[in-house]
Amino acid sequence: MSDFSIPGVGSSKYQTDKLIEGLMKLERVPRDKAAERLKEYETQKTVWLDVGRRLTSLREDARNLFSYKNPFTARTAKSSDESVLTATATREALEQTRNILVKRPAAADRFLSADLAKDYKVPTGTYGFSVGEQSIELRFAGGSLADFAEALSRKGRDLIKASVVTVTPKTQSLVIESLKTGRANRLGFSLDAEKLALETGMVEKVGSREASVDPAKPRAWEKPLDSRLAAVVTREGATPLLAVQTGGEARLDFGTSLKSAGLVLELRYRLVPLPEVETPAPPPGPSLGPVGKAAFEGIEVLGAPSDAPLPPWNAPAPPPRVEDRDMAYILGPGTAARALPTLEDSSEETTLRVELAALLPEVSGLAFRSRDTTRRLEVIAARVYDPAATGGLKPKRPVSTAEDALVAVDGIEVSRERNDIDDLVPGVTLSLKSSGEKPVRLEIGPDRKAVKEAIIALVGNYNRLMADINILSRKDEKLIQEIAYFTDEERKTARERLGMFQGDSTLSLLRTSLQRAVMDPYETSAGGDFALLAQLGIATDARRPGSGGGFDAGKMRGYLEIEEDLLDKALNERFQAAKELFGYDTDGDLIIDSGAAFKLDALLKPYVETGGILSLKTGTLDRQISSEKRTIATLDEQLARKEAELKRKYGMMEGALNSMQSSSTAIDNFNSQQNAK
């Protein structure tokens, strides 16, 4: 049974499967050649797509150096003391230097309770809290201090936060804090929260320590009240105010005397400019009546006009000009008085805020005296209050108290409720960190680091593109060995592509155009004194005059190199000219029309745009790939039919041979039987 076989299936004792495979191998030759062409077309498409990505990256880097948002217009803000102040600048910021004194950063209320037992329980209730004009209510079912703090923080979100601090192994304290800075955002308690705050020793009740003045009720101070120089003015739709002219004085009383410890004065006022004093005109002199006349025989004769000679006119000297902004005083019992800080010269409503404890131990009112001949003082309102007290409650253990930030910019003092201030220096956001003893120097200038990084990125992508062009257009192993930054995988890929497009005119023309673009001179405002990238430290050959070293073929491949010291010097000393070297408006129409980056962008555009040179090349390859795939599919069908036909025919042949073999065996057996008889 060892010679048993099924015709056309599996192995055959006649080796027909090998015969069929040999015949099919010859039949597959056209199909194998088509597959090789397909692989070649697909490889070429991949390479052109890679070249296209290099071109696109280089074009984007070039556009980045002259577009509207180029790094040359970026600004940085450098602080001389970042522990006090940091800042960020937008492109709209002007180059400038400011001196900023941070007298006080903005703060939020943060209150600490007394030491509480570890097993302290917060009772069930509705707990109300407020921060400025915003408020929340927490319905708490009762539980531990930690449970209450967690529930309040979850409810408060970006308004209120609570936490528990372990003081000793047996005691703990509750901390409740506002998440909004500024004295307008005081932390308040209501409903069961007030009871809890009192019970835990977080706050205490205090009497009223607030008083205000009525500008409509001025009184005499050190000399009698002159209503011409210190008078109440009522404007339509506004509350009465006190206007103090030059030479006038008046006082306004609080109505009670208060201990100044912890009190703050808020004075709202404005300084209104006075018109310039005009030089008086000379007097007109006496008025003389008409002269006499006489008539004779129709002839009228007039008398000579009267003449009254006037003495020479000597205009009186103008009054002396006095600018004195020290106009306000705080009053104490009896005749005690202390000058308040100099008023800010502003015709808009301004608020002066002063802590009174350092001036007088007790206060009873305000006084105003004006010697200024250029401004009229208008007192709008004034009050004294305890900033730590709110709603009749005062924190017993405040960790911090809500305060506005107080900043002096170039000597002008301003206050804001936040520590991130974006409306003091145009285009600059100040971030206050802490108070400082001396002004911080803030320098707003070009972001030279960003410019340098953008130039390095341009040069890097230029060199990678040039390396690809050299490898694809020349079959020279040295081209790969010279590139030290290649990884092993990149070297392998480069060897597979070496000389792939040798003789391709597209790459040759592109290489020449790129080299010309980075070597040509360009117009700048500096003229011929600064017109080449080489003057910026960017050159295609690193060898310098007198450097020696002989001929180095690797330096002649068209790669760009950067002399960093020269680049840094140019960016520091000739920043504007460096900017114009990459993109410059030569005709003043506000459109860039010259420069190395502009030239590279214009050069690369026809290669990478839709329907451009690379699109045409990849489109042609796509059609060739599709054609080869159709050819391969057709040949595969033909080969399948051919192989099936060969298997059928050889199967029939094997069947016939097997039949003949069986007949021969039967005849031999019959003959053997006959001979045995």
Q: pLDDT, tens digit, for every residue of 327-349? A: 999 999 888 999 999 998 888 88
Mean pLDDT over 433-457 rounds to 94
Mean pLDDT over 478-489 rounds to 88
Asked if pLDDT for residue 552 goes beyond 80, the answer is: no
| Token pair for 362 | 């007790």
Q: Determine the residue type at 249.
A: E
Other C-beta atoms within 10 Å of 385: how many? 18
Structure confidence at residue 14 (pLDDT):
64
Can you give the residue ranges of every domain in the chain?
75-106+404-444, 110-205, 210-276+321-385, 449-594
Structure confidence at residue 235 (pLDDT):
80
| Token pair for 442 | 């803030």
Other C-beta atoms within 10 Å of 517: how many? 21
Residues in a beta bridge with 440: 100
Residues in a beta bridge with 415: 406
| Token pair for 276 | 């310039």
Q: How far is CA 471 from CA 29, 52, 184, 491, 539, in A?
A: 32, 15, 69, 11, 21
What's the rounded Cα separation, in Å, for the pair 372 and 451? 52
Strands (E), 219-286: 230-233, 241-244, 249-259, 264-273
CB 608 within 8 A of CB 56: yes
Structure confidence at residue 433 (pLDDT):
94
Asked if pLDDT for residue 106 goes beyond 70, the answer is: yes
**CATH fit for domain 210-276+321-385, picks 3.65.10.10, 2.60.120.260, 1.10.579.10, 1.25.40.10:** 2.60.120.260
Asked if pLDDT for residue 217 goes beyond 90, the answer is: yes
Structure confidence at residue 298 (pLDDT):
74
Averaged pLDDT of the chain: 88
Give kind and range of the element (H or E) at residue 421.
strand 420-421
Mean pLDDT over 631-660 rounds to 84
Mean pLDDT over 441-452 rounds to 95
Asked if pLDDT for residue 364 goes beyond 50, the answer is: yes
What's the rounded Cα separation, in Å, for the pair 198 and 396? 10
Structure confidence at residue 94 (pLDDT):
92
Q: Return the ∠ at Cα 487 (arms to 485 and 488), rounded to 5°.
A: 140
Q: How confident is the model at residue 361 (pLDDT cuts 50, 70, 90)?
A: very high
Q: pLDDT, tens digit, for every residue of 272-300? A: 999 877 777 777 777 766 667 777 777 77
Other C-beta atoms within 10 Å of 242: how many? 27
Q: pLDDT, tens digit, for every residue of 594-605? A: 999 999 999 999
